[in-house]
Amino acid sequence: MTFHVDVITLFPALFPGPLDASLVGEALRRDIWSLQVHDLRDFGLGRHRAVDDTPAGGGPGMVLRADVVAAALDKCLGPALTGSTRLLMSPRGIPLTQRRVRQLAEGPGVAILCGRFEGIDERVIHGRNLEEVSIGDYVLSGGEIAAFAIVDACVRLLPGVIGTAASIVEESFEAGLLEYPHYTRPRLWEGIAIPEVLLSGDHAKVAAWRRAQALKLTQERRPDLIASRKVQRE
């Protein structure tokens, strides 16, 4: 079954964008996954197709209206797509993890609502069961860039997208750690040599070195990932 992606955005011309390049773009052309983009403005109100209004209680900026967003979701994501997980890209969302990406990639697809302005009326978030997701502790102009990230992360896990399955298994976060350092030719570059253990041909020693390096990097850069008892013991 083809992994299907729906995107609702005020800027449909941005898609597929980078999703049309490299392995993910090739997978799109091979129908491993499919993409349908919906223009939120099509569901706007009045002559100017308004999609937002001033925030209740006052304050700066504008808020996407619940009725407009709900109309878009209901029309674009009908009963045939009830199995797709509905995501709202939002800086206040739960941080995206590789574990969540893998769960999404194992499903039938995702429907992504790209936020804009100050945010979205809270009522439609709950009323349409949107899962708020963040790709980092910073604020973007809108959810489109975040949507690119989550779709790319999911699609590359689909069968047939990446040739060598082992390359996925050994990546950062798959084992709860950052990935170990990589080296290739030339053997000596600017006075720095490839670590001898990697040239030894001893697969057990190479595996142990890589594991130790992964643990070291994770402890230095992401100590928050050192959480499981197994990793703590190591």
Eight-state DSSP code of residue 115? -
What stretches of 86-184 show up as alpha helix (H) in DSSP? Answer: 98-105, 122-127, 144-155, 165-169
DSSP β-ladder status, 188-189 and 33-39: unpaired
The Cα 75–Cα 38 span in angstroms is: 10
CA distance 114 to 123: 16
User: Distance between CA atoms of 157 and 26, rounded to whole angstroms?
Assistant: 14
- Scan for tokens 């597929």, then name that residue: 16
Helix/strand/coil percent split, the chain, to 5? 40, 20, 40
Domain 3-155 has CATH 3.40.1280.10: yes
Q: Does the domain spanning 172-233 belong to CATH 1.10.1270.20?
A: yes
Residue 92 β-bridge partners:
none
pTM (predicted TM-score):
0.89
Q: What is the pLDDT of residue 183?
A: 95
**Extents of the domains making up the chain:** 3-155, 172-233
Which residues of the chain fall below pLDDT 50?
A: 80, 229
DSSP code per residue over 212-231? HHHHHHHHHH-GGGTTSHHH
User: Residue 202 and residue 68: Cα distance in Å, rounded?
Assistant: 61
Residue written as tokens 């070195």? 209
SS3 12: helix
